[in-house]
Structures are given as C-alpha cells and as structure tokens.
Amino acid sequence: MTITIDEFKKVEIRAGKILSAEKVPNTDKLLKLMVDLGEKVEVKEVAKEEGVTITPTDAPKVFVSAPRQIVSGIALRFPDPAVLIGKTCMFVSNLEPRVIKGLESNGMLFAVSVPEGGFSLLEPNETIPPGTMAI
C-alpha cells in the first residue's frame, strides 16, 4: 500500500524523553510509558497568598510539562523497563487516543525489528530536545 506525500505530511513525528516505564499488569507485551514530548499546559488555578486572592487575570502565566501516557508492545524486549527511563526516542504524536487494556494511549513509539530477532528503538542523538519535530 502506498500513501501520497500529502497523507504522509499529516503524521507528526516528535522526539520524546521517557520519564517512566512500567509493565502493564496481566499482559506479556505491554509497557506503560510516560513521555515528555515538549508539551506545556498553563496552570489556571487561583493562588492565595497571605489573605490576598490572586485571580488568573492578575497572576503571571505559569506553564508546566504535560507528559503523555503511551502504551507500547515492547515489554518482551525490555524485561527491566527501568532501562528505558531517560532515553529519547521518536514517537507519532498526533494519533487519536486509543484504549489498550483499559489504559489510554496517546501516541506511538517508533521501533524496528527483524524476524531473526534484531530490534532497535529509533533514538536521535542526545542533542535533540523533547518535542523536536521530524522534518
């Protein structure tokens, strides 16, 4: 099956840093990854300081990292999922969410394998920060 270049351009491929990795209970192949894809969200809570209420319009904007949960079928390749923590890999970041074994997955990890057993995550070099988009 082939796709057009316009179809391919719709795919967002971003570097993401794996913040945590754990086996999904009652499965053999699945890992739950929390991944920093460089996305930030604005904190909109009202703050109170010494009896003075600061409304969102008065307060400076505060942004925090918003990691994504991604479920990946790579557990057999990583018996100790902790080895993945800190790795920067490539992810599809604009897939519609999908529920897998009760967990919402918000992206897809890029990896390659061959029938003979070879396997590799697609990892950019260490100078590429989370959120960097493939061109």
* Parent domain of 20: 5-39+67-121
Q: What is the pTM of this model?
A: 0.83
**117 conformational bin, left if phi > 0, alpha if psi -120 to 50, beta if neither:** left
Say what the pLDDT of residue 50 is.
Answer: 65
Is 88 inside any structural domain?
A: yes
Residue 46, domain member (yes or no)? no
Q: Roughly how many angstroms between the first and final C-alpha of the chain, as a whole number?
A: 23
Q: For residue 23, which amino acid is it?
A: K
Domain count, the chain: 1
Query: For residue 113, what is the domain's CATH number?
Result: 2.40.50.140
Mind listing the pLDDT tens digit for each residue in 45-80? Answer: 655 566 666 665 656 777 777 899 999 999 999 999
Domain membership of residue 131 (yes or no) is: no
Q: Is residue 58 part of a domain?
A: no
Asked if residue 24 is part of any domain, the answer here is yes
pLDDT tens for 101-116 read 999 999 999 999 999 9
Q: Identify the pLDDT of residue 53.
A: 62
d(CA 94, CA 68) in angstroms, rounded, equals 12
Q: Which residues contact 127 (CB under 8 A, 6 or more apart)?
A: none
Encode pLDDT of 15-43 as tens digits: 999 999 999 999 999 999 999 999 988 77
Per-residue model confidence as pLDDT tens digits over 91-102: 999 999 999 999
Residue 25 lies in a domain: yes
Q: Is residue 28 part of a domain?
A: yes
CA 93 to each of CA 109, 111, 117, 131: distance values in angstroms, whole numbers, following the listed order? 9, 14, 27, 9
d(CA 85, CA 35): 9
